[in-house]
Structure 1
Amino acid sequence: MGAWTTTFAGERWTQVTIANVYALSKLTQLYADVMVEQASSGAVANTLGIGPSSSNRQTVVLAGIHHLF
């Protein structure tokens, strides 16, 4: 779990992230990550690597499998 807030040019962005990894075996893991970002009014939420939202709020859910070969 993590959270951050940043300000730039009078605007503010706050993001909270919750993530977890579950090991199925020594070589395989499941992961899940939920990110919620809130920008001040007039700013656009833009989670790094995801792209801009059409509003000042953005929720991103990521899930997948890591497997080592």
Structure 2
Amino acid sequence: MSGDLRRNLFPTLFSFFVGSTFEGTPREQQALLELEDTIARLKREKETSKNTLNYLIVASTVKDVFPSSSNSS
């Protein structure tokens, strides 16, 4: 699989696209874009996306359970 990624530019371009649109901290985005290994970049982007998705699921659930808590801040 890693050989396929190295021969084909699409995964590299895609990994840079994902990194450039990352909505996290600027430091994390820069770290993603500085990774020279496409496989490592894609794995880190996958992990970051998974963590972000989990956070959003929990935040949405809390908002649904405690709808007035967002108004009290």
TM-score (norm 2): 0.25
Answer with 1 or 2: which has the greater Rg.
2
Q: Specify which structure has the higher proportion of strand.
A: 1
TM-score (norm 1): 0.26
Q: Specify which structure has the higher proportion of helix.
A: 2
More RCO (CA 8 Å, sep 6+): 1
